[in-house]
Chains A and B, each alone.
Chain A
Amino acid sequence: MKTAWTRRSFIATAVTLALGSALPALAADPIKIGLVTALSGQSARAGEAITRGLTIAIDELNASGGVLGRSFELVRRDDEATPAKGVIAARELVFKEKVAVLFGGLDTPVSLAIVPIMNQAKVPFMGPWAAGTPITKNGANPNYVFRVSAVDEIVDKAMLQYAQKNFGTKKPGLILINNPWGASNEKGLRAAMAAKQVTPAGIEKFESNDIDVVPQLTRLKQGGADTLFMAANVGPSAQVVKSLDRMGWQVPIVSHWGPAGGRFTELAGPNAKNVHFVQTYSFFGNQRPVGAKVMKMLMAKYPDIKGPDDVTPAVGVANAYDAMHLVALAIKNAGSTDGSKIREGFYKIGTYAGLIKTYDKPFSPAVHDAITENDYVWTQFIDNKILPVGMVK
């Protein structure tokens, strides 16, 4: 047993040394792209989706020769959805691994904790998921934080716009989770409603462990609510749907993307489909050429992907894919991997035909969010699939 280990470690060392000395001869050092996201626990699937989007984009970029004559390499770290772990991982990737750009994950608190480090280190930070408004609007000048994802305050505007257009909403009732995310959306929805001179029927909060939301919903009903605006994670969102069932109140529900985070149909029952919620992309339905190409690449790279059903959560894959291509363009414009130059490079991006949309000058010193309220896709759960609204009657 002892002999085998010695022999194995000897071979391993020899191979490593041989490869190590051979690599510099093959190509210039790759450009490192960092990713700090949840790779374990409940959000592991989301972290994997971001990884897949980045990997597909990097493979594509490397196949066409990379940028500045260098290929890209992805370096991942798990933040376990906690800000402290995220900060440690971000420091390691920036100062030790010397990544050119760092990607964040899905948790707003983790991203918010990383933002000051990136602005201080002058290394661009790209958000492919977390939607908290202050991530990009962080008050720093110069600001190194960019995002290709939904943004709370823009989603809130889009919710009102969608409800008015599709349900003729005049008096919405707000049902929000009682935490900082709910508070952030209350602020955003209040601003969006004030801009359109809409007065809400009421604003109600509920706890994530509330079993019965009937009292809050009854207040909204008596206040004359004609639509519900909902911002809550998947479990509490399901409690709202079940409480509405008990009340026998059929009212349109327009929601932030909370329900997308889990088994919404299993938790909320058959009326889960009545909740219309925001997404940035759906691989279902007619795809533009980029969509078809990405789907084909995903199926070729990952054997578990047989079709759009298996690309979950789709927003993680789509946002990360587009964000990586925009990062590559920024590095190309910068002509170097210097953080300040890459930051300027983002502002010089012209037109790019991406997966979510064709981006036209997506970033400027005043705008660090590439996705606007017109880019969202409205979806609903049909069984266990997130489909664009109306695709299945």
Chain B
Amino acid sequence: MLVVSAIITGLGLGSMYGLLALGFHVTYAVSATVNFAQGSSMMLGAVFAYSFAVRLGWPVPLAAAMALALCALYGILVEFIAVRPFARRGSNAWLMATVALGIVVDNAVLFTFGKEPRGFNMPWATGSFTVFGIGISPLQLAIPAAGIALAAALHFYSRRTRGGKAMLAVVQNPDAARLMGINVPRVISGAFALSTVFAGAAGILIAPLFNVHSDMGTVFGLKAFAVAILGGITSAWGVMIAGVVFGVVEALITALLGSTYTQILSFALVIVVLAAMPNGLFGRAEVKKV
């Protein structure tokens, strides 16, 4: 019972990590840059959805759609002001710039939304059913399902649509893509929008199980980056699977050994795996052409 309930907990949490990590993957693949403040994007998704659904009383689907649209806009903004100016000059300062922008956003939300955590209680998210003596909330099953669905949608988008194919072209060779008439900056900008939409979706999904506040995404963002590296940041399915594995391992350590060891062991394990497999579980070694 201990193990099964830990696995269910881990699956839900792991899918969240996976979704955030997928955001890291999308931008890294296209532009070799990431938005380090993915945690803030996740928080924005939850805060926007809460504000529309609870404070303004909008229907939840509309609130969620609007929140995701705003997250996409935020992603475009991140790329435009915190990544592009630095990446264009070949500087790595976007690393710090995205972290700084995340801190600015967290504090702006703190100031406007308030410090008090708020409960995002949705009727469909409360209640639980029992399977083999283990209480499960429907949301705990919905979260991994949504995570996998979004990963699949990304897969479909990149293989079957014009925009997706343009993205793949930029991944393979930005210069050749430009010569073929692909607007590379726009594709990169789109990848950042997609990345923050994934994070925002994670925030909206997790909000009813958690509570909504300005620093709800900080720890998630950190763990998601660890997951992205663990999975091999170049593989979409890799980061999603690594997310789930990390979540389950984390929950199992807590359940079997006690919460004192959770952070120590789960992160130690990340180091061990990366030492043995430097490109992550599913990543391919980058070939540098000289």
The yes or no verdict on A and B being binding partners is yes
Stretch of B83-91, B169-177, B213-221, B269-277 that contacts chain A: B213-221
Nearest-neighbour CB distance to chain A for B217, whole angstroms, equals: 9
Stretch of A4-12, A24-32, A62-70, A244-252 that contacts chain B: A244-252
Select B2's contact among A212, A219, A266, beta carbons within 8 Å: A219
Q: Are B255 and A215 in contact (CB under 8 A)?
A: yes
Q: Are B128 and A212 in contact (CB under 8 A)?
A: no
- Chain B interface, number of residues (Cβ within 8 angstroms): 38
Select A218's contact among B2, B13, B114, B215, beta carbons within 8 Å: B2
Complex interface: chain A residues within 8 A of B5 (CB): 214-215, 218, 247
Stretch of B61-69, B203-211, B232-240 that contacts chain A: B203-211
In the complex, what residue of chain B is closest to A268 when comparing beta carbons? B119
Tell whether A169 is near chain B: CB-to-CB under 8 Å: no
Residue of A215, A235, A248 ringed by the most chain B CB atoms within 10 A? A215
CA distance A7 to B128 in the complex (A): 70
Nearest-neighbour CB distance to chain B for A41, whole angstroms, equals: 6
Q: Are A248 and B128 in contact (CB under 8 A)?
A: yes
Complex interface: chain A residues within 8 A of B118 (CB): 263, 266-267
Complex interface: chain A residues within 8 A of B259 (CB): 178, 204-206, 215-216
What 1/0 flags go to B1-25 for Cβ under 8 Å of A? 1100110010011000000000000
Q: Are B2 and A267 in contact (CB under 8 A)?
A: no
CA distance A100 to B95 in the complex (A): 52
Complex interface: chain A residues within 8 A of B121 (CB): 266, 269
In the complex, what residue of chain A is closest to B218 when comparing beta carbons? A209
In the complex, what residue of chain A is closest to B126 when comparing beta carbons? A269
CA distance A207 to B211 in the complex (A): 14
Tell whether B254 is near chain A: CB-to-CB under 8 Å: yes
Q: Are A211 and B13 in contact (CB under 8 A)?
A: yes
Stretch of B129-137, B179-187, B191-199, B280-288 that contacts chain A: B129-137
Complex interface: chain A residues within 8 A of B6 (CB): 214-215, 218
Nearest-neighbour CB distance to chain A for B152, whole angstroms, equals: 24
Interface of B is mostly: mixed
CA distance A207 to B260 in the complex (A): 10
- State which residues 233-256 of A face B: CB under 8 Å: 234-235, 238-239, 242, 245-248
Complex interface: chain A residues within 8 A of B178 (CB): none
What 1/0 flags go to A199-223 for Cβ under 8 Å of B? 0001011110101101110110010
- State which residues 76-115 of B face A: CB under 8 Å: 114-115
Select A246's contact among B2, B135, B215, B254, beta carbons within 8 Å: B135
Tell whether B117 is near chain A: CB-to-CB under 8 Å: yes
Tell whether A262 is near chain B: CB-to-CB under 8 Å: yes
Complex interface: chain B residues within 8 A of A214 (CB): 5-6, 9
Given contacts A218-B2, A267-B119, whether A235 and B254 have CB atoms under 8 Å apart is no
Tell whether A287 is near chain B: CB-to-CB under 8 Å: no
Complex interface: chain B residues within 8 A of A216 (CB): 254, 259
CA distance A238 to B6 in the complex (A): 20
Tell whether B57 is near chain A: CB-to-CB under 8 Å: no
Select A42's contact among B2, B116, B137, B258, beta carbons within 8 Å: B116
Q: Are A234 and B117 in contact (CB under 8 A)?
A: yes
Tell whether B251 is near chain A: CB-to-CB under 8 Å: yes
14 A-B Cβ contacts within 8 A? Answer: A42-B115, A204-B259, A205-B260, A209-B215, A212-B13, A215-B9, A218-B2, A218-B255, A235-B117, A246-B128, A246-B135, A263-B119, A266-B121, A267-B211
Chain A residues engaging chain B, CB cutoff 8 angstroms:
41-42, 178, 202, 204-207, 209, 211-212, 214-216, 218-219, 222, 234-235, 238-239, 242, 245-248, 262-263, 266-269
